[in-house]
């Protein structure tokens, strides 16, 4: 054993241990109890952490419908504002077209004006539709970004628990490209 082993044998503790063979048996039993109790404690720790991880992931998943509803309200607001603006544009143009008059030579210029107003009406309505569609599209893309952030949050929770030895199955919020349409 070398110098260290000889030192222990010659020390008082070494002599006591060599004179009491049951001490080694007792140490083995106590060590065994210690091993089993630490295994049991580790199982309890893993079980507790698994519940915590499930709760953390569940909280993130529970927020997703609320996030979708918030963005859906925003998109509906843009659609409603677009409809109101479209009705106002149409109402103004309709009243101006009614002022056009009869279609004979004396009133011919009013017919031309009516056609111009009709063209302007179409342009204004098209511009309003494009603006509304653009705002809704932006809202949908913002929702997709938010949903991606939620998926990243779930993945980070899983990674932090994995560092502590807690494994989990893959957790997905679903296809963001279909969830974003509100």
Share of the chain above pLDDT 90, in %: 52
Asked if the model's pLDDT at residue 150 lies above 70, the reply is: yes
Cβ-contact 149, 123 below 8 angstroms: no
How is 75-93 classified by DSSP, letter by letter?
A: HHHHHHHHHHHHHHHHHHH
Rg of the chain over all Cα atoms, to the nearest angstrom: 39
Asked if the model's pLDDT at residue 182 lies above 50, the reply is: yes
pLDDT at 20: 74
Whole-prediction pTM value?
0.70
Q: Give Cα 178 distance to the centre of its chain.
A: 14
Section 5-20 average pLDDT: 65
pLDDT at 104: 47
d(CA 2, CA 74): 80
């Amino acid at each position: 054993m070398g110098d260290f082993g000889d030192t222990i044998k010659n020390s008082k503790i070494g002599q006591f241990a060599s004179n009491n063979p049951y001490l080694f048996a007792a140490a083995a039993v106590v060590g065994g109890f210690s091993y089993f109790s630490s295994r049991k404690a580790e199982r309890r720790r893993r079980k507790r952490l698994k519940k915590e991880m499930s709760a953390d992931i569940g909280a993130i998943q529970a927020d997703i419908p609320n996030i979708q509803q918030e963005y859906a309200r925003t998109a509906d607001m843009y659609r409603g504002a677009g409809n109101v603006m479209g009705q106002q544009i149409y109402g103004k143009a309709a009243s101006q077209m009614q002022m056009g008059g009869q279609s004979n030579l004396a009133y011919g210029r009013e017919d031309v004006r009516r056609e111009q107003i009709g063209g302007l009406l179409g342009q204004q309505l098209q511009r309003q539709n494009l603006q509304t569609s653009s705002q809704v599209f932006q809202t949908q893309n913002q929702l997709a970004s938010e949903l991606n952030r939620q998926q990243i949050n779930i993945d980070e929770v899983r990674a932090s628990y994995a560092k502590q030895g807690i494994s989990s199955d893959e957790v997905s919020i679903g296809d963001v490209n279909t969830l974003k349409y509100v």
